[in-house]
Amino acid sequence: MSDKIKSDAVFGLARHFRLQWEDAQQNYVLLFPEGMVKLNGGAGEVIKRLDGKKTVADVVAELQAAFPGVPELEADVLSMLDLALGKDWIEQKNSL
């Protein structure tokens, strides 16, 4: 796991964001009062699993089951979480 993101950390969307599937764009988007962020497929798959209850390890395991054989999946998830945390899209809820 990342130095910044621990396997037992639990994340959820920051209060002012809402995740939504946009049919017109065929992507997940993050909606917030000032606008919208279009997420690529991988980012949407990570963010939609952040329910404030699952640990980072749980999310990685779910993604590995859903997308078997994807190389460096854990590293990609951690990078996405680092990015989302840095942009204040997500917030840490608690740790076990």
- Following DSSP, what letter does each residue of the chain receive, concatenated? --SSS-TTEEEEE-TT-EEEEETTTTEEEEEETTEEEEPPHHHHHHHTT-EEEEEHHHHHHHHHHHSTT-TTHHHHHHHHHHHHHHTTSEEEEEE-
Domains parsed from the chain with CATH numbers: 9-88 (1.10.10.1150)
- Residues 11-69 pLDDT 10s: 999 999 999 999 988 999 999 999 999 999 899 999 999 999 999 999 999 999 999 98
Q: What is the pTM of this model?
A: 0.87
Q: Flag whether pLDDT at 81 surpasses 90.
A: yes
What pLDDT shows up at residue 39?
A: 95
